Amino acid sequence: GLNWNFVSSPSAAKWESMSVLNNDTLWLVDDDGLTGGVFRTTNGGLNWIQQYSAGSQNPDKIYMFNPRIGFIVRNTSGAPNLRKTTNGGFNWFNVLNEGFVDMYFIDSLKGWRAYGNNMYLTTNGGSNWVVQILPSGGIILSTGINEFSNINSDTIFGAGGIAFYGSGQFRSIIYKTFNGGKNWFYQVPDTAIHSG
């Protein structure tokens, strides 16, 4: 980060989300109905190709697992429509009418997505998703993961949710699973981990 270089942008639009596969291959999405869509570069930003455009339904989130497989969604208006590509973004097809705020796949079939108050797991490439129950009740005022990071297929950390300590004191929750999400535990910063 000592030095930064300017990378040309495919349009004057604002970028909602980015997925970076390597130094050369980057994906950007912009939800603007006129100039937005899904854009890809394979030469580090020297040239961009628009891979998808849906006008007022342009996506605001993208996750690419590899150069061929990825997901887009528009979370910001109406019913979300999770779409998937298996050919590098040339075609996108509907997977389900839900969205994601964060997503990660460990291989082409097994992945997780955070959306709403839940975590979801798929073992068939996103065709079906199973809810993973997050801890609730007690001091937990609201559940949900806004962002997560996989250490491996078993250990995942997530951030989100609110704990209420009374007298107007609220604290954020950190979630952790040791078994791929079958069981989730939580802690608030500076405390011990608790079971779900």
**How far is C-alpha 38 from the geometric centre of its chain's CA atoms?**
16
Rounded distance between C-alpha atoms, residue 53 and residue 39, angstroms: 9
- Tens digit of pLDDT for each residue in 91-115? 999 998 899 999 999 999 999 999 9
Q: By the 8 A CB rule, do 58 and 33 touch? A: yes
| Residue scoring higher pLDDT (24 or 166) | 24
Phi then psi dihedrals of residue 56, to 5 deg: -65, -10
Residue 172: other Cβ atoms inside 10 A: 12
Compute the average pLDDT of residues 161-190.
Answer: 88
pLDDT of 32 higher than 90: no
**Model's pTM, two decimal places?**
0.88
CA 49 to chain centre: 22
Report residue 152's pLDDT band, with 50, 70 and 90 as the boundaries: very high
Give the H or E element holding residue 41: strand 37-41
User: What's the sign of the alpha-carbon dihedral 103, 148, 172, 187?
Assistant: positive
| pLDDT at res. 194 | 63
* Among candidate residues 26, 106, 19, the one with its CA nearest the CA of residue 63: 19
Q: What is the mean pLDDT of residues 178-196?
A: 80
